[in-house]
Amino acid sequence: MLYQIYETQRAFIEPFADLAQANAKLFSNPLSPFGQMPMAQRIAAGYALLHRLGKDYEKPQFGIHTVPVDGVEVAIHERVEIDKPFCELRRFKRFSDDPKTLEKLKGQPPVLIVAPLSGHYATLLRDTVRTMLQDHKVYITDWKNARMVPLSEGEFHLDDYVHYVQEFIRHLQAQYGNCHVVSVCQPTVPVLAAVSLMASRGERTPLTMTMMGGPIDARRSPTAVNNLAMKRSFSWFENNVIYRVPPNFPGAGRRVYPGFLQYTGFVAMNPDRHATSYYDYFRNLIKGDDASAEAHRKFYDEYNAVLDMDANYYLETIRTVFQEFKLVHGTWDVRAPDGTLERVRPQDIKDTALLTIEGELDDISGSGQTEAAHDLCTGIVRKEQHHLVVEGAGHYGIFSGRRWRERVYPHVRDFIAEHQRTFVNPPAATEVAPVEAAVSAPAEASAEAAPPVRKGRRTSAA
């Protein structure tokens, strides 16, 4: 019922938001008689703010059309490589008509970026993708909004997430011989499970795993997010945050954890910060600071766009990761497609190097939660285990913004390159072909170049 009330309210407000946008343009246009009125700039700013507060935020586009590679602009063609009921494997294929650039692109490592399924769209990692495209063949998991998935497609469980990751890894391995995996936040847990199960079966595993700001062991330095999941019972979540999709969507009747509830939780964590941001947006419009106003719009177009999650997946994640800690206790069994149960054993991973990354000020995944992966992956030799702490970085700063580009990415790039050199005789694969021929969180403070990754040791990036 709550979902239907929310949608009714949204449908009622939307015309007024559109009207506010029209009025904002009317009062801000210097050629309009309304634009000549006293206080016109303030009135326009007020209407623009009302529009931002009332508009419906749809899924953003990645919008990556070119990236620079050694001073040469390389064209990007975005396409869906694999289309699953709840996820698309999206590829960013690179093209160049420069022979030297073309040859370089062909030899670069393939990377699977596993994006979070925790309320926001995969486009939240736009800066991650754009940066990595300079040195890698990039694929990303683009999770679908559950309310857009018909009931005929069945349910989606945490086990299905693990199976999706394994299928995507195998797809890249079939094309390139092997690959590297980068997981950001929530997917660190299912990615570790996926690779563990592949290792236990004797399958080939990725050359490297890079895990960034994820709840491998949510008991360590628990945050507000962790505390909510730990203090509330499983039945409380099932009875209070799960609703059925209203009839005006393709997924009508599906049980979901609605995106608007997740968004409310995001805002509730830092209400003063968001209120200040909107007030600053209003003031910047009055002052005519178009650059700052546009930065606000870009960030919140991304931040305010949320998706629904299938109830089974959401509830199983709460129980497995945040309440029973099955991964760290060694009690997690994943149901294989044939129905058999397989125990997740990270200690079986031997041929995959591990890099974990944490932000010093992360208020989503606390200090030590991601680093816990090293305690579980005892089969990986110590010299192939690396940990990086990014000083001054919050949760988003480790994968987006200036800190990501200048401090974190050099570590990730060098870590992948070091282990890609051990990749012998890769199969022929076409990455690029000659042809004729951006939204992220506001930039963070400038930083010095990152120091080199040190094997088997904890490293800090200041």
Tens digits of per-residue pLDDT, 261-278? 988 888 887 899 899 999
Q: For residue 325, what are the contacts with CB-CB under 8 A and spacing of at least 6?
A: 217, 218, 219
Q: Judging by beta carbons within 10 Å of its beta carbon (0-12, 13-18, 19+), is residue 1 exposed, middle or buried?
A: exposed
Distance CA(19)–CA(185), nearest Å, equals: 38
The answer to whether 220 and 367 are in contact (CB under 8 A) is: yes
Distance CA(398)–CA(86), nearest Å, equals: 27
Tens digits of per-residue pLDDT, 424-433? 444 444 443 3
- What is the predicted pLDDT for the residue at 71? 87
Nearest to 390 by CA among 295, 462, 302, 301: 462
Paired residues of 212 in beta bridges: 184, 357
Q: For residue 360, what are the contacts with CB-CB under 8 A and spacing of at least 6?
A: 367, 389, 390, 391, 392, 393
Domains of the chain, start order: 2-56+259-303 (no CATH), 66-238+308-461 (3.40.50.1820)
Tens digits of per-residue pLDDT, 132-170? 999 999 999 999 999 999 999 999 999 999 999 999 999
Structure tokens at 318: 């709460």
Which whole-number Å values give the CA distances from 322 to 177, 183, 217, 315, 328, in the listed order? Answer: 35, 18, 8, 10, 11
Local mean pLDDT, 10-residue blocks, the chain (462 residues)? 87 92 92 88 94 92 94 94 98 93 93 95 96 97 97 97 98 96 97 98 97 96 87 93 94 95 85 93 93 93 94 97 96 93 98 97 93 97 96 93 95 95 46 34 35 51 60
Distance CA(348)–CA(199), nearest Å, equals: 6
Q: Judging by beta carbons within 10 Å of its beta carbon (0-12, 13-18, 19+), is residue 248 exposed, middle or buried?
A: exposed
What are the respective helix, strand and coil percentages of the chain, to the nearest 5? 45, 15, 40
pTM listed for this prediction: 0.88
Count of C-beta atoms within a 10 Å radius of residue 436: 6
The mean of the pLDDT values for the chain is 90
Q: 3-state SS of 92-108?
A: EEEECCCHHHHHHHHCC
